[in-house]
Copies of this chain bind each other. A is one copy, B any other.
Amino acid sequence: MVTLRKQYAVARPVYSEDSLAEDHEKVYRLRKPILDHLREYLTCDSKRAKNAVLSLLPIIGWMRIYRVREWLLGDVVSGISTGLVAIMQGLAFSLLASLPPSYGLYTAFFPMLTYFFLGSSRHISVGSFPVLSLMVGAVVTRLVPEDGPPANITGFEGLTQDQQRVLVASSMTFLMGIFQLAMGVLQVGFIVVYMSDTLVSGFTTAAAVHILVSQLKFVLGLTVPGISGPLSVIYSLEKIFVQITSTNICDLVMSIVIMLVVFIVKELNDKYKAKLPVPIPIEVVMTIIACGVSYGFNFKTRYGVDVVGKMVSGYESPIAPNMEVFKECAVEAFPVAIVGFAVAFSVAKVYSLKHDYTIDGNQELIAFGVSNIFGASFKSFAASTALSRTALQESSGGKTQIAGLISAMMAMIVTVALGFLLEPLPTSVLGALVIVNLKGMLMQFREIPYLWRRDKPDCVVWVGTFLGAALLGLDLGLAVGLGVNLLTVVFRTQFPRCSVLANIPGTDLYKDRKDYMHISEPNGVLIFRIPSPLFFANIEFFRDKLVEAIGFNPLRVLRKRNKALRKIKKLLQKTEDGVTEKGLGESFRQTTDESRMDVKELDQPSDLSGLPFRMDWRAGLPADVSVPRVDLHSLILDFSAVSFLDISALKGLKTALKELIRVDVDVYIVSCDACILEKLHSCTFFDEEISTSMFFPTLHDAMLHVRDKHEDDKSRGGGLTESKL
């Protein structure tokens, strides 16, 4: 380590903010009025139009630089391998959405078609995402429960239960698309910043728990109706354990075998990542094997295993969304829109950073909005991206969305031509594949001790979001998590650790007086550091701490002084009138009468006029007048960490300063941000009592000024009462 023994030497005038501005000319920065901003925003020329088209159709950007020889092979290989996984996940996640499996294949196809043109990310694999599927599923089972009649919705008549469910899912997806599109057009994509990493981690862990519980019934081969709403996890578990004895052993054994094999091969994939050209597509392999075995041994009839069954072959004609479903699921569709976008955006950002291109949050919102609206018209359900699929697409060589398009084509081929091959596939296999993929999400539990050690509020956010989402349901849980997350920001600044500073001898540095062995505190001066922004939630706290630090309540002292003053004036008058002993008692009665008068008068600045002598509260007073002694003559407030002030804080601060100034304490504010100073001006903070001359650029400037002023006072021989009664 280099020892620093260079000299720090400064010699300049002591500056207050006012004198600094006099010596150093400031630039007058004209603020552009809002109208000008708007005009500029609405101006249109050919360059802007071209940019707008380019940002609305990112495909033009990457198509122009497409290197066919270098990229196409990678895109094709990646598209095929991703396509296989997308098909598998489409089937499996449609179980989460409580829909027939073929609609999962639609979700792997339609949304991609529009995203191809509109999406600004070149690497994400658009399609189903387990958390979204589950959130859609919660609404589906609420409106069209397994047992019991469906919700009273016109448009449900004459439809089978599955058709009703598809209608609900696609209408909800349509609405979600509208929300996303609207947010994109309104340019509010920045709201995802409120979903901090901690919140997302807690939320996805809770989602993993939900998914795990929802798949248990498939793995065990039980028929359990889907449950939604608060505490659904607990109710579902209860229903499962009630009928645990009717577990289908064939399903269970098959699931366990598949889970074990897939788990082990995935670990191996991970371990030999460097050596394998492409990870082994174990899920696809296991699915094919399971299909074959199930078909060969006729699991369905022999063991009563639940299979995928008749797949819809080809595509169905588009449908219009149902307005009544919109009404029913509006509250739930909004969080789905947010979560879908947040996940896709965060995944896309990772790969855009890695491959050094820019993605645009608002354009992504538009792309997903349009894709979901388009997909919903063709009966696919909520699309976003899945991290695992995107990772595969990128690692197997995908460079652009050409890979995504090819994987969509794969889904199309299965839908149109090969769907029948999947018909004997047991649903327990799909459930097992979903569960084994939850490992990463469930591993996030390890964050709890990590966060607890490092940052308690963040840990509270994690646990709060997790508990909220696990117990209340994902939509409500997200709201709870967001609330807790925002509250922590307020909470961190609500009870700030205010400190009293003192000078480190021989320097111009001021530090917490409790932190240093040798530190010098000048008499009669207190330096109070406000370590956080001031706003409605902490201004009272700050005022309390200030009163604690200065050791007296200025308002109380002011009132006592004003009372004493009245008494003295009365006494003086009596003395002048030549009244003796008896008169004194009289005057006492009058003062008690006065105490009944308007208290407000007592809060005014002491009126020292009409006194035949100079009043000094620090010096001696008439024997029967007692006023608390105030030794403080100057208070310096360190504003360097005050990054903003709101109206409540401004009012509170003004009151606090006035109270202090009225008991003859000089208040100085140092290191105040230029913006805050400007704001104080515009909010008429200054008046005859509070002036701009109290602002100093540094603590040391203010300190030198104070020392100087009070040396003057002493030499002038001030501070003496010239007459005593």
Contact of A12 among B198, B507, B646 (CB under 8 A): B507
Report the Cα distance A105→B412, complex, angstroms.
Answer: 74
A708 & B6 in contact (Cβ 8 Å cutoff):
yes
Interface-located stretch among A431-439, A609-617, A670-678: A670-678
Report the Cα distance A577→B386, complex, angstroms.
Answer: 48
Instruction: List the B residue with the shortest CB-CB distance to A496.
Output: B643
Residues of B within 8 A of A537 (CB): 193-194, 196, 489
B-contact 0/1 string along A676-715, CB 8 Å cutoff = 0001001100000000010001101100110010000000
B556 & A356 in contact (Cβ 8 Å cutoff):
yes
A490 & B486 in contact (Cβ 8 Å cutoff):
yes
A217 within 8 A of B: no
Report the Cα distance A532→B532, complex, angstroms.
Answer: 9
A8 & B15 in contact (Cβ 8 Å cutoff):
yes
A555 within 8 A of B: yes
Contact of A643 among B4, B194, B532, B704 (CB under 8 A): B532
Instruction: List the B residue with the shortest CB-CB distance to A487.
Output: B486
Instruction: List the B residue with the shortest CB-CB distance to A6.
Output: B14
Residues of B within 8 A of A515 (CB): 26-27, 29, 674
A535 within 8 A of B: yes
Which of A27, A454, A533, A536 has the most chain B CB within a 10 Å cutoff? A536
Contact of A10 among B6, B508, B556, B592 (CB under 8 A): B508
A490 & B194 in contact (Cβ 8 Å cutoff):
yes
Report the Cα distance A483→B483, complex, angstroms.
Answer: 8
Supposing A25-B517, A457-B646 touch, asked if A12 and B451 sit within 8 A by C-beta, the answer is: no
Instruction: List the B residue with the shortest CB-CB distance to A22.
Output: B3
Residues of B within 8 A of A148 (CB): none
Report the Cα distance A682→B456, complex, angstroms.
Answer: 12
Instruction: List the B residue with the shortest CB-CB distance to A499.
Output: B674
Distance in Å: Cβ of A189 to nearest Cβ of chain B: 12
A355 & B599 in contact (Cβ 8 Å cutoff):
yes
A512 within 8 A of B: yes
Distance in Å: Cβ of A678 to nearest Cβ of chain B: 11
A705 & B509 in contact (Cβ 8 Å cutoff):
no
Contact of A493 among B5, B600, B644, B679 (CB under 8 A): B644
Distance in Å: Cβ of A190 to nearest Cβ of chain B: 8
Supposing A536-B196, A673-B531 touch, asked if A508 and B12 sit within 8 A by C-beta, the answer is: yes
Number of interface residues, chain A, beta carbon within 8 A: 103
A631 within 8 A of B: no
Contact of A490 among B489, B531, B647 (CB under 8 A): B489
B4 & A705 in contact (Cβ 8 Å cutoff):
yes
A353 & B555 in contact (Cβ 8 Å cutoff):
yes
A512 & B674 in contact (Cβ 8 Å cutoff):
yes
Supposing A27-B517, A486-B490, A641-B673 touch, asked if A10 and B8 sit within 8 A by C-beta, the answer is: yes
A196 & B648 in contact (Cβ 8 Å cutoff):
yes
Copies in the complex: 2
Residues of B within 8 A of A296 (CB): none
A267 within 8 A of B: no
B13 & A11 in contact (Cβ 8 Å cutoff):
no
Report the Cα distance A29→B453, complex, angstroms.
Answer: 19
Supposing A555-B353, A708-B6 touch, asked if A644 and B532 sit within 8 A by C-beta, the answer is: yes
Supposing A198-B536, A511-B674 touch, asked if A5 and B1 sit within 8 A by C-beta, the answer is: no
Report the Cα distance A89→B415, complex, angstroms.
Answer: 72
Distance in Å: Cβ of A137 to nearest Cβ of chain B: 25
Residues of B within 8 A of A483 (CB): 483, 486
Residues of B within 8 A of A536 (CB): 193-194, 196-198, 485
Distance in Å: Cβ of A548 to nearest Cβ of chain B: 14
Report the Cα distance A142→B486, complex, angstroms.
Answer: 33
Report the Cα distance A537→B497, complex, angstroms.
Answer: 23
B24 & A493 in contact (Cβ 8 Å cutoff):
no
Contact of A509 among B15, B353, B647 (CB under 8 A): B15
Residues of chain A from 527 to 570 with CB closer than 8 A to chain B in the complex: 531-533, 535-538, 540-541, 555-556, 559
B-contact 0/1 string along A219-249, CB 8 Å cutoff = 0000000000000000000000000000000
Report the Cα distance A487→B490, complex, angstroms.
Answer: 9
A516 within 8 A of B: yes
A585 within 8 A of B: no
Residues of B within 8 A of A454 (CB): 647, 682-683
A506 within 8 A of B: yes
A421 within 8 A of B: no
Report the Cα distance A504→B26, complex, angstroms.
Answer: 11
Instruction: List the B residue with the shortest CB-CB distance to A492.
Output: B644
Distance in Å: Cβ of A386 to nearest Cβ of chain B: 21
Instruction: List the B residue with the shortest CB-CB distance to A651.
Output: B197
B-contact 0/1 string along A621-649, CB 8 Å cutoff = 00000000000000000001111101110
A516 & B26 in contact (Cβ 8 Å cutoff):
yes
Report the Cα distance A559→B355, complex, angstroms.
Answer: 11
Instruction: List the B residue with the shortest CB-CB distance to A462.
Output: B647
Report the Cα distance A720→B495, complex, angstroms.
Answer: 53
A506 & B12 in contact (Cβ 8 Å cutoff):
yes
Which of A3, A641, A705 has the most chain B CB within a 10 Å cutoff? A641
Residues of B within 8 A of A486 (CB): 483, 486-487, 489-490
A648 & B10 in contact (Cβ 8 Å cutoff):
no
A494 & B193 in contact (Cβ 8 Å cutoff):
yes
Residues of B within 8 A of A490 (CB): 194, 486, 489
Supposing A10-B508, A19-B3, A455-B646 touch, asked if A533 and B531 sit within 8 A by C-beta, the answer is: no
A310 within 8 A of B: no
Would you give 17 A-B contacts (Cβ < 8 Å), ordered by A?
A4-B13, A6-B704, A8-B11, A8-B701, A15-B507, A24-B504, A24-B516, A26-B515, A27-B514, A194-B537, A454-B683, A455-B683, A483-B486, A486-B487, A489-B490, A509-B698, A641-B641
6 A-B pairs besides A451-B647, A454-B682, A483-B486 with CB distance below 8 A are A1-B693, A6-B705, A10-B700, A455-B647, A489-B537, A641-B641
* 9 A-B pairs closest in CB distance: A196-B536, A25-B517, A532-B643, A6-B14, A640-B640, A9-B11, A492-B644, A10-B508, A193-B537
